[in-house]
Structure 1
Amino acid sequence: MKSVAMLVNLGSPDSTEVKDVKRYLGEFLMDGRVIDVPYLLRAFLVKGIILNTRPKKSAEAYKSIWWENGSPLIVLSERLQEKVQAHSEVKVELAMRYGNPSITETLKRIKSENPDLENLFVIPLYPHYAMSSYETVVERVREVAESEMPGINLDFQEPFYDDDQYIDILAKSIKPALETPFTKVLFSYHGVPERHIKKGDVTGNHCLKEGCCQTKSPAHAKCYRHQCFETTRLVAEKLGLKEDQFSVSFQSRLGRDPWLTPFTDATLKEYGHQGMERLVVVCPAFVSDCLETLEEIQVEGVHDFLGAGGKAIEVVPCLNDREDWSALLGKWIDNRTTV
């Protein structure tokens, strides 16, 4: 069965110009799995309010982390694609959920260049299941493939938050930061609204209750919160961390609805007020460094911690294009496909 693999990451504006940032934010925030309210209300919030106020501020944030050769997330994703290709016999393509290269254009090109294609193996570059990340990639690929390449078999990599080899690589990426005496490791994950957790609860009566993430349930298959805690537990175990040596927080909240807590910015300030000697921060929800890690954590977060009285802080880079991570992705591809 002739196969092609496709890595899919979040995406980025084409440039730091306000118009490009506005276009990107419009596509991102109008996704019904990101802001999951009725279309008319979503359009009012996004087009009537957010896109009239936020793009200029976001453009400044992107400018502060933009690389000479482009968006860090895009550049790192392209480097990853090249390295994964070196580890696989199958053709490896790259697309972004929002922005360019788009899923639509990438699938069109894949079809035109591979007329005998039978199977497309898709790896959403998100370790954890969330409707606003993993799920929206899966559903968008299905939607576009149905019109652009009907009859093609679609195969998706499952969320890999507890995969042994992924956990081992993530732990190895953190270990060098722990060779210097440290006070605590903060695992900062991207936040989601609590309603997303409840919507994904297949039991309808498990999530967001006391002890729910530690109590076995079918809900865990789509529970972002449980999966974040599980990644943390497994990595901490691999690194030999004691319970008082690590904690979990959630960043990047938007709007006034309840989001997962504790919040990263508040946690960093709290640790700073404690005069913490040395804090190590890792962001396992992201496999590629991006605005949320390079600006929100490495700039704003570091400022919050040090400004509140913290002594020293180190932010661990994402997996990016590490050789062992690239090799693992290549292994997953070859195990699920044929040339």
Structure 2
Amino acid sequence: MSAEHDRIRAVAWTEAGVRLLDQRRLPQEEIYWTLTCSSEVAQAITKMVVRGAPAIGIAAAYGVVLAARTCFSGTGSGWKRLLEADLCNLEAARPTAINLAWALTRMRAIVHDLPDHHDPEIALLAEARRIHKEDIAANRRMGELGTALIEGAAGVLTHCNTGSLATGGFGTALGVIRHAYSKGRIAKVFADETRPWLQGARLTAWELVQDGIPVVLIADSAAPYLLRQGEVQWVIIGADRIAANGDTANKIGSYGLAVAARYHGVHFMVVAPTSTIDWHLSDGTSIPIEQRPPEEVLTLGGKAIAAAGAEAYNPAFDVIPAHFIDAIVTERGVVCQPTHERMKVLLG
């Protein structure tokens, strides 16, 4: 992959703390924050300074390092007891993205194995860096596997943001699009604007322009009509949580895309690392769906766009039944027409 198609990093570790690109300010401003304590990281996750399931997990892992630094310097041997409160605070920052809990479980395992009197920072930082490095490697592998499913110079449609901004780097669904474009398998990329936070307009379009990949932005409500025109052969999206049968939670609007794609004979691909799969949930009906503040729907850019007194329904995610999905692409392999039995191959 040429460097011009993979230049963006939204999460990085520095000795001063966790460096985050403020995704709320894009594309107008490119502003970075260096966070020095875990409570700042938790707040950044909640307020969507950093977003995207893999990126949230990576940021939280680095947040544990900051928490351990503070706890150990303040109490020495009592650091584990204090650290647990910080871990719980990070875990509560966003409930739907399973990568958050998955990353914190890995960090907890390191904490458990360390002696009480031992300074935990070096060991925890090494694990956080492993999580980050593994995510980028997984994204590149998924890019290759997903590209193999796409024939010819296809048109693709994507929803929300699943690129370097949402991951450790390269991206999940956008990683497939990056790799496939470099191989001549994709001719045109359409991106939903993705209301109400406009991640498609502000983030995906920005990423693709930065990397020199042509992108056509559409209103979310235009997607079914676009699919009817025959210009799109694949819808390619990411995931925030996948149940054991393949039911997939992703940014609100994904379910409608899946229904429209099936009706119009358009292939539907979900791209996500295996850390996004929640094997404890048999199907998607038990996936917790985050309800976000109504102001996100009732206002735009801080200004009211609805009549005073109007209410809002603002789920952040919806759930796609597995039978609408043609392929789930992970770093461990591809599951076509996912079912409970077919998903089990990924456990191996």
TM class, shorter-chain normalised? 0.3 to 0.5
Query: Could you state the TM-score of these two structures normalised by the residue count of structure 2?
Result: 0.35
